[in-house]
Amino acid sequence: LLFLQRVLLLVASDVDALCACKILQALFQCDHVQYTLVPVSGWQELETAFLEHKDQFKYFVLINCGANVDLLEILQPEEDTIFFVCDSHRPINVVNVYNDTQIKLLVKQDDDLDVPAYDDIFRDEEDEEEDSENEHDGSEPSEKRRRFEEDIIERTMRRRQRREWEARRREILFDYEQYEYHGTSSAMVMFDLAWVMSKDLNDMLWWAIVGLTDQWVQDKITQMKYVTDIGILQRHVSRHNHRNEDEDNSLSIDCMRIAFEYDLRLALYQHWSLYESLCNTSYTSASLKLWSVQGQKRLHEFLVDTGLPLKQVKQKFNSMDVSLKENLREIIEESANKFGMKDLRVQTFSIHFGFKNKFSASDIVYATASLMENVEKEGPETTNFIKALDSLSRGNLDKLHQGLDLAKKQLRAIQQTVTSCICTNLVISQGPFLYCSLMEGTPDVKLFSKPVSLCLLSKYLLKSFVCSTKNKRCKLLPLVMAAPMDVEQGTVIMVGIPPETESSDKKNFFGRAFEKAAESTSSRTLHNHFDMSIIELKTEDRSKFLDALISLLS
């Protein structure tokens, strides 16, 4: 990866992408590579950014965008333009895989891509020619023609074989492209690169951790994959941080240390109160069914069981008695087990800046994501992106704290919305999937016009719904969720998520399904998001679109 020229960095709006971007920026800085950074939130922006810069740049780096479409087809670049694509979106478009001159994919070697074999999807030109006379495309006739063996049986045989091959190709591609899912976090891929180049620093390692944690928080990868990747990162952590263990108390203020931990799966609890965190964490709230009166009672029984004084539980975690904090994890875990919450313990990492500040990786993810989707306008579109990016640097604690505040607001809003959706039966079964639509005027609805927040809400809602319903069939259904996007233009944002089951492979078929439903009803949709399962749709077209989706998936 040796750049001699200025590079254009196109970065998607998710936390993993930001982390990968931070690592790459650090690498560029140490190699004195000049670059320009452009945030892109969707395909339209990507295309515009490319058109605007294609004359000045030859090298483009795409982070968490671009892998799952035919880039050469949509961008029509010059022949000497080169794209480096580091993107966790799967499946990777086959043309991107097999073009090794203009598209350079940054992928972890052991990632299982399952790409169809070259010969199954591409044919050499010469084979095409034979049948080209059948493809009435209106191009000029050829100047010279060769006469082939004209055995009619052979010709029809060949044509039949070709048809069979084409049918097989369609089938293979269909299987390959049917489900969307995510591969290794881009931040981890980038860190790997730094490590191979022997330029990895502790900061970079932390970003890789945050990138992976983002995938986990957003529920993009399986539990298996998460645990495996945690293991990989843990080895790097001990390599980078072992020297501090002996001199435990000799850390200076600006020193940072990363530690592996078994921590509680409670969102932001170290910066909140235990009580608030228990109420607003999807896992505990769904398990205890906090939307109901009984649920609230259960919560109190649970707290009584832990033996922690309610006053302590409700005050800021920082101000809790130190003596209580000592065995806090064990105490809570023990009671949680009794209340059926067996997975309250998670493997994660935390970072210490000096003595005072300690953050867990998921704290950072929530904070950064909230900064990025902050709906309170503060200047141009890119402000949020830059702020979110800055909050990842250790020197910017104030931005980070602002992010934590926003994240608390967001989690509260999600929790309240989930409660009201379940209490007013807004989640309805449409047959092949569950459907929930937020009305204009619902509190905090503006927050959910943003993709990451809406996805988070959908996941929380589905989890809670599965715990609330007694209908066994409904527990296995995926969820489609819609929220108002732009009232003036009359559009909604719609997302589809896979079913919430223990063995879920996190594969999502809604991308293709949305595409087909839109096509068959000629609904005015915009597939602008890098996740194909998130679309924008004209409000008037929603009912015919849903009808088509139902019949398509039935």
Partner 1 sequence: LPVMSKQGEHMKKFKNKGKDTDSLRRQRVEVTVQLRKAKKDEQILKRRSISFSVLGQSLSPGEDKRDEVIPLSLEEIAEAVNGSNTKLQLQATQAARKILSKQKDPPINQIIELGIIPRLTEFLGRSDNAALQFEAAWALTNIASGTSSHTKAVVEAGAIPAFISLLSSPHMHISEQSVWALGNIAGDGPLYRDALISCSVIPPLLALVSPATPVGFLRNITWTLSNLCRNKNPYPPLNAVEEILPVLICLVEHEDKEIISDSCWAISYLTDGSNDRIQIVVDTGILPRLVELLDRPELIIMTPALRAVGNVVTGTDEQTQAAIDAGVLAVLPRLLRHSKTSIQKEAAWALSNIAAGPGQQIQQLITCGLLPPLVELLDKGDFKAQKEAVWVVANFTTGGTTEQVVELVRSGVLRPLLNLLLAKDSKTILIILDTISNLFLAAEKLGETERLCLLVEELDGLEKIEALQNHDNNMVYRAALNIIEKYFSGEENPDLQPGTDQDGLYDFSVEKQDFDF
CB of residue 126 vs partner 1: minimum separation in angstroms?
6
Is residue 191 within 8 A of residue 6, CB to CB? The reply is no
Q: Tokens at residue 463, please?
A: 């989890």
CB of residue 491 vs partner 1: minimum separation in angstroms?
14
Between β-strands 491-497 and 479-486, what pairing exists: parallel, antiparallel or unpaired?
Answer: antiparallel
CB of residue 148 vs partner 1: minimum separation in angstroms?
5
Q: To the nearest 5 percent, what fractions of the chain are helix, strand and coil?
A: 50, 15, 35
Of the pair 147, 472, the CB lying nearest partner 1 is at 147
Sheet with 35-40, side-by-side order of all strands: 35-40, 7-12, 59-63, 82-86, 103-105
State the DSSP string of 2-68. ---S-EEEEEESSHHHHHHHHHHHHHHHHHT--EEEEEE-SHHHHHHHHHHHTTT-SEEEEESSSTT
Of the pair 6, 53, the CB lying nearest partner 1 is at 53
For the chain, what is the largest distance between any 2 Cα atoms, rounded to a whole number of angstroms?
92
Of the pair 125, 248, the CB lying nearest partner 1 is at 125
Of the pair 110, 124, the CB lying nearest partner 1 is at 124
Burial 19-41 (b: 16+ CB within 10 A, else e): bbbbbbbbbbeeeebebebbbbb
CB of residue 173 vs partner 1: minimum separation in angstroms?
15
CB of residue 494 vs partner 1: minimum separation in angstroms?
23
- CA separation for the pair 512, 34 (Å, rounded): 39
Of the pair 135, 376, the CB lying nearest partner 1 is at 135
CB of residue 146 vs partner 1: minimum separation in angstroms?
4
CB of residue 221 vs partner 1: minimum separation in angstroms?
23
Whose structure tokens read 């964490």?
281
CB of residue 39 vs partner 1: minimum separation in angstroms?
21
Footprint of partner 1 on this chain (CB under 8 A)? 51, 72, 76, 79, 95, 97-102, 113, 115, 117-120, 122, 124-127, 130, 133, 136-149, 151, 154, 157-158, 161
Whose structure tokens read 């990777």?
92
Of the pair 97, 482, the CB lying nearest partner 1 is at 97
Is residue 282 within 8 A of residue 362, CB to CB? The reply is no
Of the pair 131, 334, the CB lying nearest partner 1 is at 131
CB of residue 519 vs partner 1: minimum separation in angstroms?
15
Give the C-alpha distances (Å, rounded to integers) separating 260 from 202, 269, 348, 351, 393. 14, 18, 6, 9, 20
- CA separation for the pair 251, 352 (Å, rounded): 10
Torsion of CA 446, 449, 451, 455, to 10 degrees: 70
Is residue 457 within 8 A of residue 421, CB to CB? The reply is no
CB of residue 380 vs partner 1: minimum separation in angstroms?
18
CB of residue 169 vs partner 1: minimum separation in angstroms?
11
Is residue 84 within 8 A of residue 189, CB to CB? The reply is no
Radius of gyration over every alpha carbon of the chain, rounded to an integer in angstroms: 26
CB of residue 440 vs partner 1: minimum separation in angstroms?
22
- In sequence order, what are the residues at sequence separation of 6 or more whose Cβ sits closer than 8 angstroms to the Cβ of residue 538? 490, 491, 523, 524, 525
Specify whether the backbone of 321 is left (phi greater than 0), alpha (psi in -120 to 50) or beta.
Answer: beta
CB of residue 70 vs partner 1: minimum separation in angstroms?
9
- In sequence order, what are the residues at sequence separation of 6 or more whose Cβ sits closer than 8 angstroms to the Cβ of residue 423? 291, 292
Of the pair 153, 253, the CB lying nearest partner 1 is at 153
In sequence order, what are the beta bridge partners of 346? 263
- CA separation for the pair 223, 226 (Å, rounded): 5
Of the pair 86, 217, the CB lying nearest partner 1 is at 86
Of the pair 74, 423, the CB lying nearest partner 1 is at 74
Of the pair 189, 274, the CB lying nearest partner 1 is at 189
Of the pair 32, 145, the CB lying nearest partner 1 is at 145
Of the pair 125, 378, the CB lying nearest partner 1 is at 125
